[in-house]
């Protein structure tokens, strides 16, 4: 939870809104709740179909607790760290303004040099007929 709070503090600082302390705290609490909800939803969406069906069945049981839901998702084989990271990146880009469609594989291979475009890739100009 501390990492999420630090992340949100950093976003608010980067946005540079000059907020009063009480307004900042309210905004921070709202943003933390939204981010955690988005991470939870992304974690559920990342479940394989069979696990999603199993979870849906378990959620019909009123005695199935939030802790049991969390444990089920943790044990589902989903890379929750990656899901959380992707969600946080999307959240950051949406909040600060930017392209929310981030290619995680491209970010992970940032050490590789980008391929140079060749002249063949450039569109040819079409001559206008008179």
78-86 own/partner pairs: CB under 8 Å, 24+ apart? 78/43, 78/46, 78/47, 78/48, 78/51, 79/46, 80/43, 83/39, 83/42, 83/43, 83/46, 84/39, 84/42, 84/43, 86/42
Q: Are 48 and 77 in contact (CB under 8 A)?
A: yes
Q: State how many domains the chain has.
A: 1
Mean pLDDT over 102-119 rounds to 47
User: Does residue 112 lie in a domain region?
Assistant: no
User: Does residue 126 lie in a domain region?
Assistant: no
R_g of the chain, CA atoms, integer Å: 21
Digit-coded pLDDT (tens) for 38-94: 999 999 999 999 999 999 999 999 999 999 999 999 999 999 999 999 999 999 999
24: domain range?
2-102
pLDDT band at 105 (very low <50, low <70, confident <90, very high): low
What are the residues whose beta carbons fall under 8 Å from the beta carbon of 98, sequence distance 6 or more?
92
User: Does residue 76 lie in a domain region?
Assistant: yes
Look up the pTM and report it. Answer: 0.69
Between CA 71 and CA 75 the distance in angstroms is 6
Q: What is the dihedral of CA 41, 46, 50, 51, to 10 degrees?
A: -60
């Amino acid at each position: 939870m501390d990492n999420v709070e630090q992340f949100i503090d950093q976003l608010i600082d980067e946005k540079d809104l000059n907020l009063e302390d009480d307004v900042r705290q309210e905004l921070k609490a709202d943003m933390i709740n939204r981010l955690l909800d988005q991470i939870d939803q992304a974690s559920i969406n990342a479940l394989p179909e069979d696990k999603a069906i199993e979870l849906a069945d378990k959620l019909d049981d009123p005695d199935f607790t939030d802790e049991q839901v969390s444990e089920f998702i943790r044990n589902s084989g989903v890379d929750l760290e990656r899901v959380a990271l992707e969600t946080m990146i999307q959240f950051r880009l949406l909040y600060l303004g930017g392209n929310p469609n981030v290619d995680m594989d491209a970010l992970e291979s940032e050490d590789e040099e980008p391929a140079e475009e060749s002249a063949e890739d450039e569109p040819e100009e079409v001559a206008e007929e008179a």
